[in-house]
Chains A and B, each alone.
Chain A
């Protein structure tokens, strides 16, 4: 292990928080999906760090499954972004708030 585990966890926490801020602060659907990508990468960094810490390969295999899940999620959600844009001619989330309680 080249660095202490704590430093690795701090780095991945910072990345996760940046992704969370991106999801919460932006009103553009594309930027929200980019924030989700950043958060998933931070999780991947944690998994690879754990794999290196315990010297087991399972963490890296989890990252492979994470990547497969991410690509599935991105393909579906970008298709829906295109659909929503064609419906309302906008990608601003404030235009999609009819489902208020």
Chain B
């Protein structure tokens, strides 16, 4: 019962955070709201019996991809306002993310308060890391190889695009 209620609360947090993310003009604010949305989505994954996916959602999406976005935004120095010296964000900008973060933290505390094995409502079926590893490396071994090749190609591609830029700036610098 509690898990069902938590699902609806977390769904509402996800939708509200995503909505606030897509109406932002400043990409940094959008990324911060989106990290909140991904945390709520990770808790939903946990409630649906996918603890491994929940951990990866936090590590890969919120941790790696969004931080990569932040790096690129700050590297490009695109500021929506022409004013270079900006004051700290006012109260109106702090309040929504503060409320969302408090709601998310209380949901997490409530969830860790429940014992996943005996609590009523939490999924009896869930994929343990052992099941996950067996399925992944027995049935999907070929797919793992293909995905690793894909990641290698992505790394080579990103490196190549970066080199294009370097060569261009060297040529401009020498001429």
Contact = CB atoms under 8 A, between A and B. Distances in A.
Contacts of A8: 48
Contacts of A76: 154, 157-158, 161
B131 interface: yes
A79 interface: yes
A48 B41 CA distance: 11
Interface string A13-36: 011001101100110101101110
Nearest to B125: A55
B65 interface: yes
Given A30-B73, A70-B65, A83-B164, A18 B45 contact: no
Contact of B121 (A2, A58, A72): A2
B136 interface: yes
B34 A37 contact: yes
Contacts, number: 169
A49 B46 CA distance: 11
Nearest to A74: B65
Contact of B30 (A31, A52, A60, A70): A31
B167 to A, nearest CB: 11
A21 B34 CA distance: 15
Interface of B: 3-4, 7-8, 11, 14-15, 18-19, 21-22, 27, 30-31, 34, 37-38, 41, 44-45, 47-50, 52-53, 56-57, 60-61, 64-65, 68-69, 72-73, 75-76, 78, 121-123, 125, 127, 131-132, 135-136, 140, 143, 147, 150-151, 153-155, 157-158, 161-162, 164-165, 168-169
Interface of A: 1-3, 7-8, 11, 14-15, 18-19, 21-22, 25-26, 28, 30-31, 33-35, 37-38, 41, 44-45, 48-49, 51-52, 55, 57-58, 60-61, 63-65, 67-76, 78-83, 85-86, 91
